[in-house]
Amino acid sequence: MAACVQPLLTLSEARIQDELRRATAIAADAAADRRKTVRLVLICIGDYVAGLAIVGLSLHMSDGDLAPVLFYAGLLRALCGPMWTVLLSLWHEENR
């Protein structure tokens, strides 16, 4: 007893091709978003590491006047650099 099952929905070939193009475009956008996210994370990590390197340099300096300046500059770079990178990136995305 083989029952003949009718498809619930039949699509034209043009509709199928349109859906395939749409799915391809969505996949390409998702891949581009992943690349942007990875790039943004790497930039933020680089800012943080550069700030920590400046802080480390300031801790090993013997010059009494320049060491605190470098210390606070390193803190600003390590903490505020990634924050501003993310904020400006989001602002740029919204204002395209």
Q: Supply 22's token pair.
A: 């749409």
| pTM over the 0.85 mark | no
For residue 35, what pLDDT is reported?
94
pLDDT at residue 1 greater than cutoff 60: no
Q: Supply 95's token pair.
A: 């204002």
C-beta separation of 47 from 85 below 8 A: yes
Confidence tier at 84 by pLDDT (50, 70, 90): very high
Cα–chain center distance at 18: 30
Domain boundaries, the chain: 35-94
Q: Supply 85's token pair.
A: 């990178």
- Reported as a single tens digit per residue, the pLDDT across 58-82 is 999 887 889 999 999 999 999 999 9
C-beta separation of 87 from 44 below 8 A: no
Whole-number percent of the chain with pLDDT over 90: 69
> Cα angle vertex 87, ends 50, 54, to 5°?
15
- Please state which of the ranges 7-16, 18-27, 49-58 shows the lowest mean pLDDT: 7-16
